[in-house]
A and B are shown apart, each in its own frame.
Chain A
Amino acid sequence: MSAVATVTDVTMRFSDHTALDRVSTAFEQDAITGLLGRNGAGKTTLMQLVTGHRVPTSGRIEVFAARPSENDDVLRRICFIKEGQKYPDHFRVKDALGYAATVFENWDADLAAALLRDFDLPAKRSVKKLSRGMNSAVGIIIGLASRAPLTLFDEPYLGLDAVARQLFYDRLLADYAEHPRAIVLSTHLIEEIAPLLERVLLIDRGRVLLDADAESLRGSALTVTGPTGKVSAFAARHELLHTETLGGHSRAVVRLRSGADGDDAAAAGLSWEPTNLQQLVVAMSLHTTAAAAAAPTDLEEVSR
C-alpha cells in the first residue's frame, strides 16, 4: 500500500508546551485509520498539520507528495471535519451542504441527500438552531459525501446518540466499501469503532506509542490471571503493561513477544483471554503515564 500522507520527524511546539515530539507516521491510501490517544495527546494538532492548518516547528509533512499548507492543489483533495465544526451563522443546513458541493470535486449530491434523510436533518433549518448532535451530523454528511481522497474526522460524534453513531458507522462502511479512500478518525469511543479500523495510530504526550495494523494488535496482548508468582514469571518473559493483585492472585495485561500466544500462558499455568483494542490502548497509556511519573522529566533534569 502507498501512503497519501507522510509525517517525518515532526515536532510542534507552542509557547508553553510541545504538542508533538518527533512524530513519524503515514496515512495509507485505502485504509481507515483510528487516531487514538488521551485528551491533549496531540491528535488534533496532528490533523491540523496534515491538513495544512498549521506549519510544524520542525520536520516534514507531505500530502499527495507535496507540502499541504497554502497548497490549493493538495487542499482540495482533503476534507477535514473538525470537532464541533462551525458554519457561518446565516447558513441553513442546505447552504452548508451546497457550499461543500462547490469545494469538493468528488461531491456526491445523491449520497448527501440520502444521508440527510437518514439522519433526519431539517435542510431548511438555520445551523445556529441545530442541536449539538445535529451539528455533528452535518459534519458527518459533508465528510462522507465529499468522497475526498483524504478525509479526516476529529471526534465526529459529539452529541450524537447511540443510534446516530451506529448509522454513521454503517454508512461509512458501506460507502467506503464502494469507494475506498484514506479515512482518519480520531475518537475516544474505541470499543465502538475498533472493528472498523484497519490501522491504529496511538499517540500519548505528543509521541507515537503504537502505529500498526489493527488485526496484528488484536493477537498481540493477553490478559492473564493466576497466582501472583506465576503471573510475574510469565510477565517477565514478555512486556508487562499493567497489573493488579488481590490476595495472592494477579491479573496482568501483557504484550507478547512475537510468536507467543495463549498456549504459552496456558502452559505457564495461567488462564488468559485476548486483550481487545480498548484494553490495550488503556493499558499502554497508563503504562507510559506510570513511567513518566517514575522517571524525572527533562525539565527537572535541567533545573537540577
Chain B
Amino acid sequence: MNEDAGPIFRQVAGEIENAIVAGSLAEESQAPSSNELAAFHRINPATAAKGLNQLVADGVLYKRRGVGMFVATGAREQLLKRRRSEFADQYVRPLMTEAQKLGISPRELTAMIDHWEDPR
C-alpha cells in the first residue's frame, strides 16, 4: 500500500473494488480475509478489516457468519454506476484544467479524443 496516498483502508477497499469491476473477483465468490490482506499488503489487520467493513457498509460485500466475506450479487453493476458518476470529477476536471493552462480549446480537445488511438 502507498503511505503517500491517504488512508490505507480506503486503498484496500479500492483495490477490492477494482478486482470486482475487472471481474477477477466474481460476485458470490469469497473476498480475501483481513489477515490475508494484512499479510499481503503488509498492513495492520485492523486497518484491513476497516477496509472490508467499509465495503460491507456500501453493500459491495456481505458477511457469512463464521465463513467470511463474499461479493454481493449486483456489486459490479453498483460499482460501475458509482464510478461512472465520479468519472467527470476525477478525470475530466483535471483534463480540462490542464487543457486551459495550455490553451487547448474544448473543440481541439474533442478532436483529440475523436482521433485517439489506443497505443495498446
* Residue positions of A touching B, CB distance < 8 A: 31-32, 169-170, 173-174, 176-178, 180, 191, 194-198, 214-215, 218-219, 273-274, 276-278
CB pairs A–B below 8 angstroms (6 shown): A173-B44, A177-B39, A198-B47, A214-B44, A215-B7, A277-B3
Within 8 A of A (CB), among B1-51: 1, 3-9, 34-35, 38-39, 41-47, 50
Given contacts A177-B35, A177-B38, A195-B1, contact A218 B43 (CB under 8 A): no
A197 interface neighbour in B1, B6, B7, B44, Cβ under 8 Å: B44
Given contacts A177-B35, A177-B38, A215-B50, contact A195 B6 (CB under 8 A): no
Contact mask B36-80 → A, CB, 8 Å, 1/0?
A: 001101111111001000000000000000000000000000000
- Tell me if B6 and A218 are in contact (CB < 8 A): yes
B46 interface neighbour in A31, A174, A194, A277, Cβ under 8 Å: A31
Residues of chain A with a CB closer than 8 A to B43's CB? 173, 195-196
B44 interface neighbour in A170, A174, A196, Cβ under 8 Å: A196
Residues of chain A with a CB closer than 8 A to B44's CB? 32, 173, 195-198, 214
Least Cβ–Cβ distance between A260 and chain B, in angstroms: 14
- The total of chain B residues at the interface (CB under 8 A) is 20
* Residue positions of B touching A, CB distance < 8 A: 1, 3-9, 34-35, 38-39, 41-47, 50
- Tell me if A195 and B8 are in contact (CB < 8 A): yes
Given contacts A194-B3, A195-B1, A274-B4, contact A173 B46 (CB under 8 A): no
Given contacts A198-B46, A214-B44, contact A273 B39 (CB under 8 A): no
Residues of chain A with a CB closer than 8 A to B4's CB? 273-274, 276
- Tell me if A176 and B45 are in contact (CB < 8 A): yes
Give the complex CA separation of A263 and B39 in angstroms.
Answer: 32
Give the complex CA separation of A277 and B8 in angstroms.
Answer: 11
Least Cβ–Cβ distance between A304 and chain B, in angstroms: 45
- Tell me if A173 and B8 are in contact (CB < 8 A): no
Give the complex CA separation of A198 and B38 in angstroms.
Answer: 12
- Tell me if A274 and B1 are in contact (CB < 8 A): no
- Tell me if A215 and B9 are in contact (CB < 8 A): yes
The chain B residue sitting closest to A274, CB to CB, is B6
The chain B residue sitting closest to A279, CB to CB, is B4
Given contacts A196-B43, A196-B44, A214-B44, contact A274 B5 (CB under 8 A): yes
Least Cβ–Cβ distance between B83 and chain A, in angstroms: 18
Residues of chain B with a CB closer than 8 A to A174's CB? 39
Least Cβ–Cβ distance between B4 and chain A, in angstroms: 5
Give the complex CA separation of A178 and B38 in angstroms.
Answer: 12
Give the complex CA separation of A183 and B38 in angstroms.
Answer: 16
Given contacts A177-B35, A274-B4, A276-B3, contact A215 B47 (CB under 8 A): yes
Residues of chain B with a CB closer than 8 A to A194's CB? 3
Give the complex CA separation of A197 and B42 in angstroms.
Answer: 10
Give the complex CA separation of A173 and B46 in angstroms.
Answer: 11
